[in-house]
Amino acid sequence: MRVPSLGSDALNVYRDGQTLWLLPSPESIEARSFHLPRLCAPIRSLNWHDDAKRDLGFVPEPDHWRFSWNAAVAAEALIKVEFDGAPLLPDEVSPTEPAGDASVMLHAHHAATFGEKLRFEPQWYKNTVGYWTVAKDYATWELKLDQSGRYSVAVLQGCGEGQGGSDALISIREGASTVAELPFQTIDTGHFQNFRWNHLGDITVTKSGTYQLRIEAKRIAKGALFDVRAIHLVKQAK
């Protein structure tokens, strides 16, 4: 099925379940590159359909993904991109629903990123919100909490050797109001793609509803804040 919302003069896009087929235009074939809008799903694999070993570069930017290649390819060459979920545009993503036990798992691919450098990096070996090198950049997730009370918060994070110890803040917001805040420090995991749960503490909300969770840097200790693959909120007993 063709997906006009993802296509452009540079390419046609077709979808089959969780797979996208990208057909570059003759102009893109000649230029050896094109852009695809940023999508909200992790990538399982990407390659040329007729030759999986042929060179294919991929760079995720904050609001689009850039594909490029060095060697000439045939007209009507197809690129196959397999995802681990539905490849949705950011405005097609609904707030994350709680599980039956009232816990909420927020994934990197559902984050909205704001600022100069911060972005979702969808590659299978990353699957993270990363490139957090500018302190003013921040990320948000939309979620529903169906119970009031106390929630423990943990972040599945990666941080390069010697890069830990940055100060950050998680806040829960409802419209323009901040209803809860939780300051924390990032931990060194040895590499930005070595992910480990960092248990941050508790937050309390006084009513159920739809909220926004935001992570922002307060102080970046060295080169980057950290990479974030997931955030887990677990309802605590009274």
| pLDDT single digits (tens) 44-63 | 999 999 888 899 999 999 99
Kindly list the distances between the CA atom of residue 41 and the CA atoms of 99, 135, 172, 221, in Å, as whole numbers in the listed order.
Answer: 20, 25, 24, 30
Whether 175 and 139 map to the same domain: the answer is yes
Burial class for 74, CB neighbours closer than 10 Å (0-12, 13-18, 19+) = exposed
Per-residue pLDDT band at 238 (split at 50, 70, 90): confident
Residue 141 lies in a domain: yes
Say what percent of the chain tops pLDDT 90.
Answer: 95
Residues 215-219, mean pLDDT to the nearest whole number? 98
Whether 118 and 140 map to the same domain: the answer is yes
Residue 184 lies in a domain: yes
Whether 108 and 75 map to the same domain: the answer is no
In this predicted structure, the answer to whether residue 159 has a pLDDT above a threshold of 90 is yes
Specify the CATH number for the domain of residue 146.
Answer: 2.60.120.260
Whether 148 and 79 map to the same domain: the answer is no
Q: Which domain holds residue 45?
A: 11-83
Residue 149 lies in a domain: yes
pLDDT for residue 196:
98
Strands lying side by side in the sheet with 79-83: 11-16, 19-24, 79-83, 43-48
In this predicted structure, the answer to whether residue 183 has a pLDDT above a threshold of 90 is yes
Whether 106 and 210 map to the same domain: the answer is yes
Residues 197-215, mean pLDDT to the nearest whole number? 98
pLDDT for residue 236:
97
Query: Mind listing the pLDDT tens digit for each residue in 163-172?
Result: 999 999 999 9
Whether 21 and 66 map to the same domain: the answer is yes
Residues 6-22, mean pLDDT to the nearest whole number? 96
Whether 143 and 202 map to the same domain: the answer is yes
Residues 29-56, mean pLDDT to the nearest whole number? 95
In this predicted structure, the answer to whether residue 20 has a pLDDT above a threshold of 90 is yes
Whether 77 and 126 map to the same domain: the answer is no
Q: Which of 41, 61, 83 marks a domain boundary?
A: 83
Residues 84-94, mean pLDDT to the nearest whole number? 97
Q: Are 186 and 159 within 8 A, CB to CB?
A: yes
The number of domains in the chain is 2
Whether 129 and 110 map to the same domain: the answer is yes
Whether 70 and 106 map to the same domain: the answer is no
In this predicted structure, the answer to whether residue 75 has a pLDDT above a threshold of 90 is no
Whether 64 and 103 map to the same domain: the answer is no
Whole-number Å distance between alpha carbons of 11 and 186: 41
Whether 148 and 52 map to the same domain: the answer is no
